[in-house]
Amino acid sequence: MSDQAERAARETGRQARRIADSRWFETTARAGFVGSGIVHLLVGYLVVLLGIGSASGEETDQSGALQQLAAVPGGIVLLWVVAVGTAALALRLAVEAVVGGRSDSTRAWAARAKDAGKAVVYGVVSYTAVTFALGAGKSSSGSSRGAAAQALATPGGVFVLVAAGVVAIAIGVSLVVTGVRRSFRKQLVPLPSTIDRPVTVLAIVGYVGKGIAVVVVGVLIVVAAFRSDPSQATGLDGAFQVIHGMPGGGVVLVLVGIGFLAYGVYSFFRAKYARL
């Protein structure tokens, strides 16, 4: 890279950092945690309904939650709040991944990769919220099966699908570990003593419940790869349906649903106390 190009890249990084550190951008990014909390509350509600046998055919995943949100009075406004907030949060995380920190240590690069992954997740939530706000939302389970079918149809697609499943399993395990080891506390500023314990409990339950669900998704993707059956590769909705069909699955679903509800409430606290 030439000196001129390097200087231009550094200046771009400084401008991006300046924007990301601005008050208005931070406020919008914190709204992203609120949007995430709303989605997790809706998912948790739908999963608990499925667990107790009261579900009425709704998808129990992100798209199902956003579809439910679109159907309530004022839901379109809330969808745009979710979309804008999560988009700002995704952009903030992307900036952190690109220009955050100056260390070249393995841990620093791992942190940047984690930020990049989170940016993708929040970006997908934002995009999905926009599609539902515009009335063009689609089933995420159908999209998962379509992507799996395309992967299986390409040379080496089985290995790609296995890799995707392994990554999902690793992410799920990481979420569980984050909850059990309370690593999430590093993401927060010191909490007031009056809410420290409740927020900690919410986070532990939320991370563990969500992590279990993501692990099941990863297992289903791997199974789909080995069986060359894209219908097996579903998202959260398919994972919850598989759990529901297991002995005692209803109880497990209720517990996982409570985990998503807890994570949703924790996200509201995170909007105020997250380190940004």
Q: What is the pLDDT of residues 75-125, one digit of tens each?
A: 788 888 888 888 888 887 787 777 665 555 677 777 777 778 778 888 878
The better pLDDT of the pair 254, 27 is held by: 254
pTM (predicted TM-score): 0.77
Whole-angstrom distance, CA of residue 138 vs CA of residue 120: 19
Q: Are 207 and 263 in contact (CB under 8 A)?
A: yes
Confidence (pLDDT) at 197 = 94
Confidence (pLDDT) at 191 = 92
Of all residues in the chain, the percent with pLDDT exceeding 90 is 21
What does the block give as tokens for 235? 């998202």
For the stretch 205-263, pLDDT in tens is: 999 999 998 898 888 888 877 776 665 656 677 778 778 888 888 888 899 999 999 99
Confidence (pLDDT) at 63 = 72
Of all residues in the chain, the percent with pLDDT exceeding 70 is 73
> Average pLDDT in the 24-33 region?
80
What is the 8-class DSSP label of residue 72?
S
Number of domains the chain is built from:
1
Q: Is pLDDT of 147 > 90? A: no
Confidence (pLDDT) at 195 = 95
Q: Are 170 and 110 in contact (CB under 8 A)?
A: no
H helical segments located in 52-104: 62-71, 75-99
Q: Is pLDDT of 60 > 70? A: no
> Average pLDDT in the 158-180 region?
86
Confidence (pLDDT) at 134 = 82
Mind giving me the DSSP string for 209-276? HHHHHHHHHHHHHHHHHHHT-GGG---HHHHHHHHHTSTTHHHHHHHHHHHHHHHHHHHHHHHHHB--
Q: Are 276 and 25 in contact (CB under 8 A)?
A: no
b/e burial code for range 27-56 (CB count within 10 A of at least 16 → b): ebbbbbbbbbbbbbbbbbbbbbbbbeeebe
- pLDDT-based confidence at 136, cuts 50/70/90? low
Q: For residue 119, what are the domain limits?
A: 3-273
